Homo-oligomer: A and B are copies of this chain.
């Protein structure tokens, strides 16, 4: 049982205009998603780093049971670096500098030992790389993919060709509007399903998430956190936890997927309450499960 996760591994420098604080830390979609997947399942990580990537994060991943054979370490190379600044209300951020470094020539190589992975999560990377991963893996019970506006506008054909090959598209609400051309959630879901993926999850941030599948619609509210410190990685925490939870279930049925959405929402809420990956590094499976249980009471009319 395992979840193959392919995505970015980065060193971010993040400034918070609201508090004036600034941090440098390990980040990236594969890092957040793998930490998150480790609460319930076994992540198998595929990515690329330079020799400047923090050893502490590699250790943290390994301690949590992540298999790291797919992490290529380029000696003398520098890790993908992003420098950005969050607005005081954390609702937007600007990129101050992006250095792709070793990520520029990243060509995902799936180790032979990873090819039987039960689940596959294609992080938000170039659609051509997502295709390249799919070409190397077959027999996964569920292939999930994330994407973003940058690829929706810049690599639309490759993205359109990917959608019929995946079982679950996980996408932000803004991006879902861009990709579908629709404004309202029920039409967004139908339009995206008609583009090929078997299921679609639209993430609405603090307003929760919608799942569209063959059983209809499911909605999970976001866990009502008292404060948000850093929204970075919330989406990857959601996707990683969802996949890890599915990895721990005997069968992938309607209820398992719906519960996985709730677990993902719970983990995302714990992620945003602390800086960087701290929210994930300092929480436990029990804490996620406890929050997930509160969802039942939150939506119960009894």
Residues of chain B lying within 8 A (CB to CB) of residue A112: none
- A192 shortest CB reach to chain B, Å: 14
B298 A217 Cβ-Cβ under 8 A? yes
Knowing A255-B302, A259-B301 are in contact, say whether A206-B185 is a contact too (CB < 8 A): yes
**Interface flag for A216 (CB, 8 Å):** yes
**Interface flag for A19 (CB, 8 Å):** no
Mask, A255-278, CB within 8 Å of B = 1, is 100110010000000000000000
Which of A221, A225, A258: most chain B Cβ within 10 A?
A: A221
Q: How far is the CA of A224 from the CA of B189 in the complex (A)?
A: 10
Task: Give the interface SS of chain A, mostly helix, strand, loop or mixed.
Answer: mixed
**Interface flag for A297 (CB, 8 Å):** yes
Residues of chain B lying within 8 A (CB to CB) of residue A189: 224
Q: How far is the CA of A192 from the CA of B156 in the complex (A)?
A: 46
**Interface flag for A186 (CB, 8 Å):** yes
Q: How far is the CA of A208 from the CA of B299 in the complex (A)?
A: 11
A226 B302 Cβ-Cβ under 8 A? no
**Interface flag for A291 (CB, 8 Å):** no
Sample of 6 further A-B pairs with CB below 8 A, known A184-B224, A184-B228, A219-B298: A184-B225, A184-B226, A207-B208, A217-B224, A221-B221, A258-B302
Q: List 19 A-B contacts (CB under 8 A).
A: A184-B224, A184-B225, A184-B226, A184-B228, A186-B225, A186-B226, A187-B227, A204-B207, A207-B207, A208-B221, A217-B298, A218-B301, A219-B221, A254-B302, A255-B302, A258-B300, A258-B301, A262-B301, A295-B301
